[in-house]
Amino acid sequence: MLEIKHLTKRFGEFEAVKDVSISVPDGAFLVLLGPSGCGKTTLLRMLAGLELPSEGQILFDGTIVSDGDRAWSADPAKRNSGLVFQSYALWPHMSVRGNVEWPLKVMKMPTAERTKRIDDVLNLLDIHQLADRYPNEISGGQQQRVAIARTIAPKPSVLLFDEPLSNLDAKLRVEMRTELMRLHRATGATTVYVTHDQIEAMTMASHVAVMNGGRVQQFGAPAELVERPETAFVATFVGTPPNNVIEVKKNGAGYTIGGRHMPVDPPVDDCLAMYRADALRIGSAASQRSLPMELVEVSAIAGRTMVTGLSDALRLTAIVDVPVKARIGDTVEFELPETPQCWFTPSGERIS
């Protein structure tokens, strides 16, 4: 349904999106995941027709809707897509019903059909009781539902969401995630969702594109990204808590990890070792594979304890069964397993 071919977007000399290629089937839920400034919103704006690509093509259902090589883009109103903005962007002088009705009027839907469609989407999102209120008379969560109702009313084949839950409190975000997944199943529309929150990505997506520096670092199902990260960036950005990635350096006849000599057998002299949080232990200084670190955080997580230590620029997180007895600021020993889960080159590519 959605195909992106070698898409690039430049603003002057700056490349915000660099040679991105993605293809997802009809009805997929694609999440563009990455930190602020990685290019995910720029990519979404090109999908919506609000930005013209510098190079590459975008196809909806086999039809080209943007072609950067020909400097051509289809009118956003003719793409059969809908965009939900981060700021909701509701008309303040229109009631909830008026906001939802507006795009149907623009497409000249007959009155009777329009009335039925409005009632359908208001009921679907459980905001029918708000139909006669105005945006300033309803809560942020309710405004978000109105924005979504307005977007899905014309039955677009592609739904685009630009960090739609970032303005909501934590509890409401969880509830709205469930509602969006239910809405996706009900509409069957191919969905593209932008977020920097990897929990949202892992719980909602059928496909995830992890972006950094304008490029897609890895594309695949959520489980694939967690089980087999292809770059050090993905390894440290995806997962709760994220993986630990540590420099391994040749030093004389042996190797150092985190600045300490350890018995290790890396595939190349200088590389990066990845250790999952649940593979680390809180040990003793007597161990050959322990690193002394300042205890900076302790928190409960699913019946276990997450322990975080800091030593200069190195930050390690372990998931342990028994709560640590040390206090914040104390020195604790993080013991590494004999073998890391995987290796990366110094530039971050996975070593097979």
Q: Which two tokens stand for residue 254?
A: 């042996």
Q: Which residue did the predictor score with more confidence, 167 or 249?
A: 249
C-alpha–C-alpha distance, residues 279 and 289, integer Å: 13
Q: Which DSSP state fits 286? A: T
Residue 322 — very low, low, confident or very high, per pLDDT cuts 50/70/90? confident
- Kind plus residue range of the DSSP H or E element containing 57: strand 55-60
Query: What's the pLDDT score for residue 318?
Result: 95
Q: Which residue did the predictor score with more confidence, 126 or 221?
A: 221
- Which structural domain, as residue segments, surrounds residue 50? 2-236
Query: What's the pLDDT score for residue 59?
Result: 95
- Kind plus residue range of the DSSP H or E element containing 6: strand 2-11
Does residue 240 surpass a pLDDT of 80? yes
C-alpha–C-alpha distance, residues 238 and 233, integer Å: 8
Give pTM, 2 decimals.
Answer: 0.88
Q: Quick: pLDDT tens for 293-317.
A: 999 999 998 889 999 999 988 999 9
Concatenate the DSSP letters of all residues of 83-109 into one string. EE-TT----TTS-HHHHHHHHHHHTT-
Residue with tokens 């300490």: 260
If asked whether residues 94 and 159 sit together in one domain, one would say yes
If asked whether residues 98 and 230 sit together in one domain, one would say yes
Q: Are 275 and 246 in contact (CB under 8 A)?
A: yes
Closest CA to 89 of 99, 81, 103: 99
If asked whether residues 227 and 255 sit together in one domain, one would say no
Q: What is the CATH number of the domain that holds 223?
A: 3.40.50.300
Q: Which of 236, 255, 281 is at the close of a domain?
A: 236
The total number of structural domains in the chain stands at 2
If asked whether residues 205 and 293 sit together in one domain, one would say no
If asked whether residues 116 and 133 sit together in one domain, one would say yes
If asked whether residues 181 and 267 sit together in one domain, one would say no
Q: What is the CATH number of the domain that holds 286?
A: 2.40.50.100
Residue 9 — very low, low, confident or very high, per pLDDT cuts 50/70/90? very high
Q: Which two tokens stand for residue 269?
A: 């002299």
Q: Which of 201, 216, 236 is at the close of a domain?
A: 236
If asked whether residues 146 and 289 sit together in one domain, one would say no
Query: What's the pLDDT score for residue 141?
Result: 85
